[in-house]
Amino acid sequence: MIATTWRVVGVGFSVLVILSAILLYGVEPQVTSFPGTGVGAAYWTFDVRTDDLTVLLLAVVGVVSACVQVYSIAYLHERAASYTALVTLFTAAMVTVVIADSLFLLLIGWEVMGACSYLLISHYWERRDARSGAMKAFLITRLGDVGFLFGIFVLGLGYGTFRISELGAGDISPAALTTGTILLLVGVVGKSAQVPLQTWLPDAMPGPSPVSALIHAATMVAAGVFLIARLYDVFVAAETTLTVLAVVACVTMLFAALCAAAAVEVKRVLAWSTVSQLAIMFAGLSLGTADGRHAALFHLVTHAAFKGLLFLCAGVLLHQVGSAAFVVLRRYTRRGTLRKAMPVTFVTMTIGLAALAGVPGFAGFFSKDSVVEAAWHHARDGSTVGWFVLVSVCLTAVLTAFYCVRLWLWIFFRTPALAGALGAFEDDDAMADAEDPDFSKLRDGSWLMRGPLVLLAIGAIVLGYADGLHLSWAIAGLTTVLAVLGALPAYSLWRRGADPRPVVLEHEFGADAAYGKAVVVPVRWFAKLAVLGDRDVIGAYVRAAGRTGTLASQGFRLLQTGNVQTYLTFAVAGVVALAILAGVIGA
């Protein structure tokens, strides 16, 4: 009963968010203030802002959240009440970030999202990987949030206001502006899993797939892109910060795309893909132009549709097969059964991967091309950042097409060269006690799961046309060629049953191991040292004091014999001792 109530509340809240976006569409931008407080000359209120950006993000958050809530009814039954309540709170936190015109109100939503992500990623708390993944996500994002908090104070005190709509209007020193925006960027990098704080997002995959869809498509990681878009005038004024953002974005998009190309689990491929696609959005924002901002937000919207779709499709695979690992899915694919038994999942996942790969006609093609076009215009004006972004996005487009085609072929189609064997993903240890899969139980799931897939698949197609067809034919031709250049090697390797994965890519450039040696090992060493100090030094003093008191009490207890003669003897001895002492002192 409680779970049902929360499900109604969750779906109802998501619908309310969608209705709010519809009602606010076309309304003049305005700010509504609520009572606040202040520190010294700085005063802040809890203000709510409604404008075109608010409406856009409310629509994205509402639709994806509604799809996730409906999908979860059929997907998840363990601890459903707490899960649905947390998903609803998670959505509300993102809505708070979207509507906030106060940096402190935004901070509240920002931090609540971090707490909810920890609790949702660890939903299957009995699994060690879920617990460790949740803890890793919490700690790394908190590390970034330290900089975020200081950035809020630097900008707020520098401008003399904490209202977002008033930040760009005041006077602030260039040093304070650069420092404040760099500190905010640290928080954005942590929340959106950009280099060097990227390692938490792929390790968050043990959480429920609908949670992954919500985090990757509409909340949490997308909040960083929204924040920079909301404070765009402030960031544009800080040229150094935009340059740093461009470098971080370009390095991240290539790094994550290479990691995705070597991953052998569906959700992990999609996780690295999210990191890479977010970097493309940040690259668009780093151009510092209106076209760059528009392209980044356009890609944010289309990405929400196809990435939410892909994670929900991965959830269907997990729900039906029990795993999203390539080595497990290949057991079904070698008989050509998976796509035939789950046609809706196959078709919708194909649409999602096509949009992600930038296949012409799908939403991702138009939004990614808009970023390329914005970078080209900026580069043509002589901008080094523009050229850097342009080259990086083009290389990433090739890698994206490669890992999308690789994923699609390996999990849905038999490998001709291997006559149905597992091929490059065969693992003797993993297959030692594997039984033949039961094909009779494979299906797409109930309409509660199929409905959201179809809705998001439609979005992954039609959203590309929402902005009109303004692309240059030269740019469109270039990105199409890049997609083909990425797809052909993936197809060739699949035909030969090969999937070479360099060690450096398979271990994701050793980032986790490096952080383990540089951070985790020293922290654990200091923790053990602290335990030893507490137990063997401070604890020893405490125990010694207690032992001394015990021994003293035992000694005094021996004197309490109950014999009057003994007491008189001690009294006389005491008097004599005092008399002698007095005589000595007097002499």
pLDDT 10s digits, 152-181: 999 999 998 889 988 877 788 999 999 999
> What sign has the CA pseudo-torsion 363, 26, 47, 289?
positive
**Mean pLDDT across 414-436:** 51
Q: Tell me the sheet residues that pair with 31.
A: 49
| 427 domain-assigned | no
Residues 319, 214 share a domain: no
Please give the pLDDT value at position 433.
44
Residues 448, 562 share a domain: no
CA–CA dist 119, 121 (Å, integer): 6
Residues 399, 373 share a domain: yes
Residues 6+ apart with CB under 8 A from 534: none
Confidence of residue 461 (pLDDT cuts 50, 70, 90): very high
Residues 214, 288 share a domain: no
CA–CA dist 181, 196 (Å, integer): 17
Q: Which amino acid is at 36?
A: G
**Mean pLDDT across 343-347:** 93
Instruction: Examine the fold and report which residue of 472, 506, 540 is the final residue of a domain before the chain moves on.
Output: 506
Confidence of residue 524 (pLDDT cuts 50, 70, 90): confident
Residues 213, 95 share a domain: yes
Please give the pLDDT value at position 437.
58
* pLDDT at position 424 over 70: no
Q: How many beta carbons lie within 10 A of that of residue 416, not counting itself?
A: 11
Residue-wise pLDDT tens digits, 260-283: 998 989 999 999 999 999 999 999
Domain that holds residue 339: 238-414+442-506
Please give the pLDDT value at position 444.
80
| 257 domain-assigned | yes
Count of domains for the chain: 3
Please give the pLDDT value at position 505.
75
| 430 domain-assigned | no
| 73 domain-assigned | yes
Instruction: Examine the fold and report which residue of 481, 506, 531 is the final residue of a domain before the chain moves on.
Output: 506
* pLDDT at position 435 over 60: no
* pLDDT at position 559 over 70: no
Residues 173, 105 share a domain: yes
* pLDDT at position 308 over 90: yes
| 499 domain-assigned | yes
Instruction: Examine the fold and report which residue of 182, 208, 230 is the final residue of a domain before the chain moves on.
Output: 230
CA–CA dist 332, 335 (Å, integer): 6
Residues 190, 250 share a domain: no
Averaged pLDDT score across all residues of the chain: 87
**Mean pLDDT across 62-75:** 94
Residues 313, 285 share a domain: yes
Residue-wise pLDDT tens digits, 472-516: 888 999 999 999 999 999 999 888 877 777 767 777 777 777 877
Least confident piece of the model among 116-130, 483-497, 570-584? 570-584
Confidence of residue 38 (pLDDT cuts 50, 70, 90): low
CA–CA dist 165, 431 (Å, integer): 59
CA–CA dist 195, 245 (Å, integer): 11
Residues 165, 86 share a domain: yes
**Mean pLDDT across 175-195:** 95
Q: Which residue has the higher pLDDT, 87 or 547?
A: 87
Confidence of residue 44 (pLDDT cuts 50, 70, 90): low
Give which of 509, 508, 517, 518 is closest to 271, Cα–Cα: 508
Please give the pLDDT value at position 422.
46
Residues 522, 500 share a domain: no
Please give the pLDDT value at position 535.
77
Please give the pLDDT value at position 190.
93
Contact between 224 and 110 under an 8 Å Cβ cutoff? The reply is no
Contact between 365 and 462 under an 8 Å Cβ cutoff? The reply is no
Residues 6+ apart with CB under 8 A from 137: 117, 118, 121, 200, 201, 203, 204
Please give the pLDDT value at position 490.
92
* pLDDT at position 144 over 60: yes
Residues 91, 27 share a domain: yes
Residues 310, 395 share a domain: yes
| 419 domain-assigned | no
Contact between 220 and 278 under an 8 Å Cβ cutoff? The reply is no
* pLDDT at position 124 over 60: yes
Give which of 397, 69, 415 is closest to 213, Cα–Cα: 69
Q: What percent of the chain shows pLDDT beyond 90?
A: 56
| 249 domain-assigned | yes
Give which of 417, 411, 373 is closest to 393, Cα–Cα: 373
* pLDDT at position 430 over 50: no
| 434 domain-assigned | no
